[in-house]
Each structure stands twice: as C-alpha cells, then as structure tokens.
C-alpha cells in the first residue's frame, strides 16, 4: 500500500520540484486552476494532508472540509490569503517563502520607479509607433530619480532591499514608515523614520511594501494623496488593496500627484477598462514582482521543502504559526 501522505499541488510546479515532492508524497498536480481542477480539488480535499500553491483562500470553510490537513504551503511571501487564526484553530501549519524573492522584488520596484519617472514605456511607444519624428520637447521630459527622496511604507525585508538599492545606487534620501523602527536601515542607508503623514508630505517617490492585513487595507487613501507633493510618484509592489484605487485615480486625474507605477491591483487580473489603464503617466505591470525564472524556481523549491518538512514532523523552515507545531 502507498503510505505516502496525499498532497494537492494547485499550481504548475517545476518538474524538479515536483519530483522532489513525489519522493515524499502522493501528489495530485493541478497545473491549471479551471473548473475541472476545482472539482478534482474538492473531491481530493477530504483526504489531503498537505496543500501547496498560490493565492487560494484558506479559511474556516475550506478547513472544515479538510479534516486530515496538516500543512498549507504558500508559494509566495505574502499570505493575506491565509486566515492564520482559523488555520491554528484547525491545527494546520501555514508556511510562506520569504527571503528567496527579496532581491528580485526590490529590482522590480527600482524598475517601476525608473519607468514612471523617466516615462520609459511611454517613450518606448513613441519610438515604436513612428511618432519620433522630431527632437523631443520639454513636454516629453521625465524627472530625475537620483538624489531624490524615497519614502518606503513598510520597512521589512523587501523594503530594506529597496532602500539599499536606492541609497547606495541612486544616492537617494530614504524616509520610511513602519510598525517598528528598523535600526539596521537607519545605520546602513541613513534612512529616517517618520509618520505616514510626514512621509507623504516629504517624499518624491512613495513606495508601498507592506503586507496586506486589516490594518493596511486602504492604508493609502484620499488624505495621503492630498498630503503628497504634486510632483510625487506613487509606487505599489505589495497588494492592490493597501491602496484606495478610487482615491488614486482621483489624485492622478486632478494632478494631486504626477505619476504612478503599479505591479498590483485590487482585482487581478485588472479589468481592461479600469480607469488607471487609460492614463499615460501610470506604468502598469501584471504582478511580476517575483516573476523571474530563478526566483520562481527558488520559491517553488522552498515551498516544497516547507511542505515535506511539515509532513515528516519536522519544523518547516518558514513556519508562520509556531503554536501548531509546538502543540502537535
Ligand atoms: C507571488 C507575491 O509570485 O510572494 C508574493 O507575495 O505576490 C508574488 O511573489 C504571487 O503570489 C504569485 O506566485
């Protein structure tokens, strides 16, 4: 008889990582999340001891249907899709993939900062559409990034990696707002702690890098945009819901801020008629923060290691709810 624990992988998994999982588990691999996969998932959930994938909401409703579940391994660092309290109550371990994506996401954010400030996608379109027929006029000039003030909202691992690039590479002055002080970034990158209001008032670039929680939902709204400089560029690489999108649209329309660079949206994929998509001064990306071959591979590998450790009774390296492991 096959005594390996049953696992459902609800995302396309790299073959090497799948092979690693299959050594320790009996894996149901759902490469695409369609109607068919959904019913296969529902049918297998009752016997599953482990789940691995991205984005699926893990709440009381789902946990009720999964009496054998021991661990859910998120292939992402953000875990706003987890109801951690419910998972702990159901004695289900929760894990994520910190660290391995930090530098890649920070690179993406520098890309958004540069793209929005220097209007790179707009200028690319100008060239490719054959409208580059005469020397540029000042109406087409961008704004400098170096020596400007970058305000980072959320100074965790990724925020620190952005501060590093911005300070050491672009001589930027760093302000930050966070739940707690981060003395390391203050010492290394001369970052200055301030209130969210002060940050909004003083920053040339406001970059949001907080996890999505109840406290950070709509953290940036009308009041914050009004406090920003008219020349401010707003960057979001966290979750769309940390920002009131209506207020963002209004701020851009009314010239309360200059531009925005967004990797995330309240609803993903974003609707093609969303007002943000019609604005030339808004650079949009389809949530590619961590989307490089190397990093997505490392994330899948890390998530698989978390899952296998948990199923073998070892402490998963990126365990989020310690109490479940201690009480097992
Ligand atoms: C993930 C992310 O790639 O890690 C996160 O929190 O947002 C991205 O890195 C995304 O969840 C899809 O895998």
Residues 163 and 239 in one domain: yes
Ligand 1: distance of its center to the CA of 299 in Å?
A: 9
Q: Which domain holds residue 27?
A: 6-98+293-326
**d(C-alpha 326, C-alpha 49), whole Å:** 18
Weakly modelled stretches of the chain, pLDDT under 70: 1-2
Report yes or no on 311 lying in a domain: yes
Q: Which residue's CA is the nearest one to ligand 1's atom 6?
A: 78
**Which pLDDT tens digit goes with each residue over 152-177?**
999 999 999 999 999 999 999 999 99
Q: Is 239 a catalytic residue?
A: yes
Q: How far does Cα 242 stand from its chain's mean position? A: 11
Alpha helices, DSSP H, located in the chain = 15-24, 35-45, 60-64, 84-89, 102-117, 120-128, 157-164, 170, 183-189, 196-202, 222-227, 245-253, 293-311, 322-326
Specify if 1 maps to a domain. Answer: no
Prediction pTM value: 0.97
Query: Within this chain, do residues 94 and 45 fall inside the same structural domain, yes or no?
Result: yes
- Closest ligand 1 atom, CA of 78? 6
Looking at ligand 1, which residue's alpha carbon is closest to its atom 9? Answer: 290
- ipTM at complex level: 0.95
34 and 171 share one domain? no
Residues 207 and 135 in one domain: yes
The protein residue with its alpha carbon nearest to ligand 1, atom 10, reads: 76
Same domain, 63 and 189: no
Q: What separation in Å is there between the alpha carbon of 78 and the centre of ligand 1?
A: 7
Options 184, 215, 268, 294, the catalytic residue? 268
Task: Based on the fold, state whether residues 203 and 306 are members of the same structural domain.
Answer: no
Which own/partner pairs from 249-255 qualify as long-range (CB within 8 Å, at least 24 positions apart)? Answer: 249/275, 249/276, 250/222, 250/225, 251/222, 251/225, 251/226, 252/276, 252/279, 252/281, 252/282, 255/230
| Structural domain contains residue 152 | yes
- Claim to verify: residue 206 and residue 272 sit in the same structural domain: yes
Query: Residues 173-206: pLDDT tens digits?
Result: 999 999 999 999 999 999 999 999 999 999 999 9
Whether 192 and 246 map to the same domain: the answer is: yes
């Amino acid at each position: 008889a096959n005594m390996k624990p049953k696992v459902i992988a609800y995302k396309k998994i790299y073959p090497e990582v799948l092979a690693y999982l299959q050594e320790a588990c009996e894996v149901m691999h759902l490469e695409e999340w369609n109607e068919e996969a959904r019913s296969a998932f529902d049918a297998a959930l009752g016997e599953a001891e482990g789940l691995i994938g991205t984005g699926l909401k893990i709440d009381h409703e789902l946990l009720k249907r999964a009496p054998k579940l021991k661990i859910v391994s998120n292939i992402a660092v953000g875990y706003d899709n987890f109801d951690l309290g419910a998972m702990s109550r159901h004695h289900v371990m929760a894990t994520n993939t910190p660290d391995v994506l930090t530098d890649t996401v920070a690179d993406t954010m520098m890309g958004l900062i540069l793209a929005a400030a220097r209007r790179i996608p707009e200028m690319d379109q100008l060239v490719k559409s054959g409208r580059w027929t005469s020397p540029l006029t000042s109406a087409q000039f961008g704004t400098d990034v170096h020596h400007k003030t970058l305000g980072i909202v959320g100074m965790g691992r990724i925020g620190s990696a952005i501060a590093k690039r911005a300070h050491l590479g672009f001589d930027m002055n760093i302000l930050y707002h966070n739940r707690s002080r981060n003395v390391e970034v203050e010492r290394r990158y001369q970052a200055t702690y301030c209130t969210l209001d002060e940050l909004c008032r003083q920053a040339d670039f406001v970059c949001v890098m907080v996890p999505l929680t109840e406290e950070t939902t709509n953290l940036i709204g009308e009041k914050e945009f009004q406090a920003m400089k008219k020349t401010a560029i707003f960057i979001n690489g966290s979750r769309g819901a940390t920002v009131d999108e209506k207020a963002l649209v209004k701020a851009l329309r009314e010239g309360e801020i200059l531009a925005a660079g967004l990797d995330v949206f309240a609803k993903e994929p974003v609707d093609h008629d969303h007002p943000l998509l019609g604005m030339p001064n808004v650079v949009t990306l389809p949530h590619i923060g961590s989307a490089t071959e190397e990093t997505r591979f490392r994330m899948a590998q890390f998530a698989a290691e978390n899952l296998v450790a948990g199923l073998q009774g070892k402490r998963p390296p990126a365990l989020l709810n310690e109490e479940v492991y201690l009480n097992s």
